Amino acid sequence: MTVEIRINDDDSLEVSGDFDLLDEEGDAYRHRGKIRLCRCGASKSKPYCDSAHALINFESKVRG
């Protein structure tokens, strides 16, 4: 299965597929499906997004 990372405007990183999320020590956390990762730094459930970006008016539009 292909892994896709979508950068949502003013929002989170959305990762979908079958993948491992690694912590700082290299410990793997297996994921299948879709997760949202925090980009704004305000989430209380980091590294996952809890939609705190809406409360702090986070703005970021990434274009390559």
State how far the Cα of 25 lies from the Cα of 8, in Å rounded to an integer: 28
Over residues 16-34, the mean pLDDT reads: 95
DSSP 47: T
Q: Residue 18 contacts by C-beta under 8 Å, 6 or more apart in sequence?
A: 1, 3, 31, 32
Residue 24 has a pLDDT of 94
Q: pLDDT tens across 26-56, in order?
A: 999 999 999 999 999 999 999 999 999 999 9
> Chain-wide mean pLDDT for the chain?
95
Ranges of each domain in the chain? 4-55
Residue 63 has a pLDDT of 81
pLDDT band with cut points at 50, 70 and 90 for residue 21: very high
- Kindly list the distances between the CA atom of residue 49 and the CA atoms of 1, 43, 57, 64, in Å, as whole numbers in the listed order: 23, 6, 14, 23
**Per the structure block, which two tokens stand in for 53?**
């970006």
Start-end of H helices in the chain: 52-55
